[in-house]
C-alpha cells in the first residue's frame, strides 16, 4: 500500500506526489520544514513544532498559505489517511512555483507538503552502545548569514559535515561555530553531564532551538538536575562524565566517544539513562490525539 502524501489540500499516492521543477524549494532550497514524531496515537509537541515553523516562516518572509489550526488538522488527517499510530511526519512549506530567477517575488503561493511515514534513524545497537562522534572541519553557518534557528530546506551546511562524519565512519559529526565553540551535531543538539550537572550550548552558539532539547531541559528541571546553558568548547565534552544528543528522529541518545577519546567510562551514563526513560514516558503519554 502506497503512502498517501498531502500536497496543498489534496492527498496523492506516493508515486504521484510531485512538485514542479520550478518550485524554489527545489531550485534554491527556499522553504522551511519540521520533523515531528507521533507515538501511540498522539503527536508529540505538535504546537511547539508549528510555532517553530511559523517562526522560521517569519524569519525568511514566507507566507504559509493556511492557518496554524488548518495545518494542525491537515497533519492529523495525513496520519489518519495512512492508518499510522507511531511514526514520523515531514512537514514542508516550499516557496512554491516561480521562475528561474531566485527572487521569491515570482512565487505567488507557497506549497504545503505533509508526509507521514515510519522512521528508524539508528539501529537499536547504536542506542545500546552509544554513538561515536567526530568533530567536523565544516563550521556551522554563521547566524549573521543564515540563522541556524531557521529550519530551512537548505541543509547543505549540515550535509557537508555529515559527509565528513560518514567518511570518518562515525555515527554523528560535531559542528563548531565560527569562533570554535560547540554549536550542535549535524541533526541533533548536544548535552554533557559532569559531576551531576547537565551542560548544553545556548541557541546563540549556532544551533536549532530543538524541541527535544527543550523537553530535556524540562525533564532535568523536573528531576531536580542542575543545568548550565553556556558556551562550550570540545574540552568540556572530552572531560565530561556523560555525553548525549537529542533530536526528534534520534530522540535522546548516548554518545560515548568524541574524536577518538572515550567520554566518561565509554558507556551510556546513569543520568543519560534516567533522561531517556523519562523522555520515553513523556512521548508515550502526552501529545495531540490523532483522532481529534
Binding positions for ligand PMP, rule: CB under 6 A: 35, 158, 184, 187-189, 207-208, 210-213, 246-249
C-alpha cell at position 158: 549540515
CB-wise, 92 or 107, nearer to ligand PMP? Answer: 92
Give the residue among 84, 124, 94 at the shortest CA–CA distance from 251.
124
Sorted by sequence, the CB contacts under 8 Å of residue 283 that are 6+ apart come out as: 37, 39, 40, 44, 251
Q: CA angle, corner 40, sides to 256 and 189, nearest 5? A: 30
* Backbone dihedral angles phi then psi of residue 102, each to the nearest 5 degrees: -80, -15
Cβ neighbourhood burial of 281 (10 Å; 0-12, 13-18, 19+): exposed
151 is known as an active-site residue: yes
Give the residue among 14, 165, 24, 148 at the shortest CA–CA distance from 90.
14
CB-wise, 52 or 97, nearer to ligand PMP? Answer: 52
Sorted by sequence, the CB contacts under 8 Å of residue 82 that are 6+ apart come out as: 3, 4, 116, 117
Cβ neighbourhood burial of 72 (10 Å; 0-12, 13-18, 19+): middle
Out of 151, 162, 257, 278, pick the active-site residue.
Answer: 151
Q: Smallest distance from the beta carbon of 280 to ligand PMP, in angstroms?
A: 15
Helix intervals (H) in 88-174: 124-129, 156-167
Q: Smallest distance from the beta carbon of 52 to ligand PMP, in angstroms?
A: 7
* Backbone dihedral angles phi then psi of residue 218, each to the nearest 5 degrees: -65, -40
Consecutive H or E run containing 199: strand 197-200
Q: Smallest distance from the beta carbon of 37 to ligand PMP, in angstroms?
A: 8
Consecutive H or E run containing 242: strand 242-247
Residue numbers annotated as active site: 151
Amino acid at each position: 500500500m502506497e503512502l498517501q502524501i498531502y500536497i496543498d489540500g489534496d492527498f496523492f499516492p506516493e508515486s504521484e506526489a510531485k512538485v514542479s521543477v520550478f518550485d524554489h524549494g527545489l531550485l534554491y532550497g527556499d522553504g522551511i520544514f519540521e520533523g515531528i514524531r507521533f507515538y501511540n496515537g498522539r503527536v508529540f509537541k505538535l504546537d511547539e513544532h508549528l510555532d517553530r515553523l511559523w517562526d522560521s516562516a517569519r524569519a525568511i518572509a514566507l507566507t504559509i498559505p493556511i492557518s496554524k489550526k488548518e495545518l494542525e488538522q491537515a497533519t492529523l488527517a495525513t496520519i489518519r489517511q495512512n492508518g499510522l499510530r507511531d511514526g514520523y511526519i515531514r512537514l514542508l512549506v516550499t516557496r512554491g512555483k516561480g521562475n528561474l530567477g531566485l527572487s521569491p517575488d515570482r512565487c505567488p503561493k507557497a506549497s504545503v507538503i505533509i508526509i507521514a511515514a515510519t522512521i528508524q534513524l539508528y539501529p537499536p545497537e547504536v542506542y545500546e552502545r552509544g554513538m561515536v562522534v567526530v568533530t567536523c572541519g565544516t563550521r556551522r553557518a554563521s547566524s549573521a548569514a543564515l540563522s541556524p534557528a531557521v529550519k530551512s530546506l537548505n541543509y547543505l551546511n549540515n550535509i557537508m559535515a555529515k559527509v565528513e562524519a560518514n567518511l570518518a565512519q562515525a555515527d554523528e559529526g560535531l559542528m563548531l561555530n565560527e569562533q570554535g565553540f560547540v554549536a550542535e551535531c549535524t541533526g541533533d543538539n548536544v548535552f554533557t553531564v559532569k559531576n551531576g550537572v547537565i551542560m548544553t550550548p545556548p541557541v546563540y552558539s549556532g544551533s536549532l532551538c530543538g524541541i527535544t532539547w527543550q523537553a530535556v531541559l524540562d525533564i532535568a528541571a523536573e528531576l531536580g538536575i542542575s543545568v548550565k546553558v553556556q558556551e562550550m568548547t570540545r574540552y568540556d565534552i572530552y572531560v565530561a562524565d556523560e555525553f548525549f544528543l537529542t533530536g526528534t528522529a534520534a530522540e535522546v541518545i548516548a554518545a560515548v566517544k568524541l574524536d577518538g577519546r572515550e567520554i566518561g567510562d565509554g558507556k551510556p551514563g546513569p543520568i543519560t539513562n534516567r533522561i531517556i526513560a523519562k523522555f520515553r514516558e513523556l512521548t508515550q503519554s502526552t501529545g495531540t490525539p490523532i483522532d481529534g
